[in-house]
């Protein structure tokens, strides 16, 4: 089945230690998104790629970066995680970002110790 896969499901990292979360898709969708979701809150968009074009949200901290080496994979890098970065990170894909809705991965729950 075509899907969006996020690894790992759970990630524990130390305060200040760089961490990378990964997302892959078999849907061949043009657009890939990274959302941050804190407990009982709506997902907050960090950035997205439309093909190779990177689009950063204005309020996304510089501590967060992303890479999309090819259509299938997208990575979220947190350079120096703080306690406030503990959250669920959701990857989503869309064919055109508009009409068909988004397909979400299962998420990676990040804990910072």
Interacting residue ranges for another protein, rule: CB under 8 A? 33, 40-43, 45, 48, 50, 55, 90, 92, 94, 96-107
As measured in angstroms, the least distance from the Cβ of 91 to another protein is 11
Q: Which residue has the tokens 């690894």?
A: 7
Residue with Cβ nearer another protein (3 or 80)? 3
Nearest Cα residue to 43 out of 33, 53, 29, 30: 33
As measured in angstroms, the least distance from the Cβ of 109 to another protein is 9
Cβ neighbours, 10 Å, residue 74: 25
Residue with Cβ nearer another protein (9 or 17)? 9
CB 6 within 8 A of CB 21: yes
As measured in angstroms, the least distance from the Cβ of 98 to another protein is 4
Instruction: State the sign of the Cα–Cα–Cα–Cα dihedral 103, 53, 48, 97.
Output: negative
Residue with Cβ nearer another protein (43 or 81)? 43
Nearest Cα residue to 77 out of 52, 110, 102: 110
Residue with Cβ nearer another protein (64 or 102)? 102
CB 56 within 8 A of CB 76: no
As measured in angstroms, the least distance from the Cβ of 106 to another protein is 5
């Amino acid at each position: 089945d075509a899907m969006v896969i996020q690894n790992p499901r759970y990630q524990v990292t130390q305060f200040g230690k760089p961490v990378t979360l990964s997302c892959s898709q078999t849907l061949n969708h043009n657009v890939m998104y990274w959302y941050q979701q804190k407990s009982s809150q709506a997902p907050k968009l960090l950035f997205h790629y439309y093909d190779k074009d990177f689009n950063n949200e204005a309020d996304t901290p510089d501590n967060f970066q992303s890479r999309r080496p090819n259509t299938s994979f997208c990575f979220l890098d947190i350079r120096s995680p703080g306690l406030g970065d503990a959250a669920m990170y959701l990857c989503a894909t869309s064919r055109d970002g508009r009409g068909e809705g988004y397909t979400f991965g299962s998420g990676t729950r990040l804990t910072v110790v």
